Amino acid sequence: MTLRIVGLNAFLPGFRLVHEFARRNGHEVALVVTLPETGRYGASDPMVAGLPDGMNVLITRKLRTVAAPGTILEHHPDGWTIQTADHPLRLTHT
């Protein structure tokens, strides 16, 4: 079973942990949700500068309200519907 993962990260080492877990287990990081400025986490560059090319990224100043962790609206046999930004997003696995 392949999962599509939405990562909520403001700390690049935290993203790398999720990305490596996904890679080792045959999953995909479908979206990274982050803050525009992550300097308070010890980085001089924005976190997005360290993400792999081609990564889908949502940058928001309202991380808790736009993409609250654990906002699963519905579970389906092939995945989940989660709340992101102002609309639901259906994530499926193959």
19 has a pLDDT exceeding 90: yes
Q: How do residues 35-56 score in pLDDT, each as one tens digit?
A: 887 666 666 677 888 899 999 9
- Residue 60's closest CA among 41, 46, 42, 70? 46
- Output the furthest CA–CA distance in the chain (Å, rounded): 43
pLDDT tier at 81, thresholds 50, 70, 90:
confident
Is the Cβ–Cβ distance between 24 and 16 less than 8 Å? no
The ranges assigned to domains in the chain are: 4-66
